[in-house]
Structure 1
């Protein structure tokens, strides 16, 4: 299926460097149990106080229509006229959508610790999925903040959507984009 499906990953650094955000997916379904297994490993991310500040809302099968409708309901009239049909198809064709939600702790330090933990867990999930030939695209679109979308998908008051993850098998791996060398961003203080 994917790059690593029948190959053993030689090092973690190889996996990190070869993972890509995937936007074009095969329509083959991702078994929900496979996603759950990946998440059960991903949640071993560091998290302060072992708060495990995450919960998940998955949309698969017919549930993808609910997700697509919730996104489209956030569009203005012109957007609905110009792109609703294409976006409906796009969201329906993606095998699985996963919202990653965290509680919004009013204490800034706890909130920052929680968003860091959730982000680390998401990166774990992306790497674990990539290792199995499953692509992920981490989206932070405006609809994540829209009350219409949030209510439609079951996000509670006092929660933040950290990510919408689009998940599926891929055929084409995008080329890597050049990264700035760490030496260009590193300040060393040694006296």
Structure 2
């Protein structure tokens, strides 16, 4: 198979996180595109073909359901650490997106492989989502805020005791593009061992 390597390189280098304040609110991403993004996610590498990912997709009225759930759980469990601004963001941000996809890790029941390998596989799936989102000219953002690490949130997403909620992937049309990004020189990050 032959691919346009320059286009692939360009796609990887121009992938950006696009945050809720940058979204074209009220503009819905076609469901066929969302399905393609998720299909590409499932082609991520994963040890032993465990395919440890699960995605819960919120759109339409489902966005309000997610917003209310996470804001109220935050309010209930934050006690003295409660911040009104955080509560309001949890209520508002999902409604700015076209879709919000809960990123979940479903542990292999046999636990053949270490959990960190399954987390890495789900992370690779999210990178596929990011790249596909960018290829369609859309905006995406993986956040681990809100209720991500709360055990009490698992049931809402259909997760068992050994499973994990790893965050949310926001998806939307872009109103305000993200600025260009830079990376440190490759030689600062790579050590070559040739003999």
TM-score bracket for this pair, using the shorter chain length: 0.7 to 0.9
- The equivalent residue for 2:93 is 90
- What is the TM-score with the length of structure 1 in the denominator? 0.84
Q: Which runs of structure 2 are paired with 1:150-165 in the superposition (5 Å)? A: 150-165=154-169
Question: Are positions 1:25 and 2:17 aligned together?
Answer: no
Partners of 2:5 and 2:193 in 1: how far apart?
A: 36
Q: Give the equivalent residue in structure 1 for 2:128.
A: 124
Deviation at 1:129, TM superposition (A): 1.2
> Structure 1: which 5+ residue stretches go unaligned?
1-7
Aligned twin of 2:11: 15
Aligned to 2:142: 138
Any unmatched runs of 5+ in structure 2? none
> Quick one: which of 117, 122, 127 aligns to 1:113?
117
Asked if 2 retains the 8 angstrom alpha-carbon contact of 1:19 and 1:130, the reply is yes
Whether the 8 Å CA contact 2:147–2:153 is kept in 1: the answer is yes
Normalising to structure 2: TM-score of the pair?
0.82
8 Å CA contact 1:70, 1:148 repeated in 2: no
How far apart are residue 188 of structure 1 and its match? Answer: 1.8
For residues 152 and 29 of structure 2, what CA distance do their matches in structure 1 show?
27
| Deviation of the 1:33 alpha carbon | 3.0
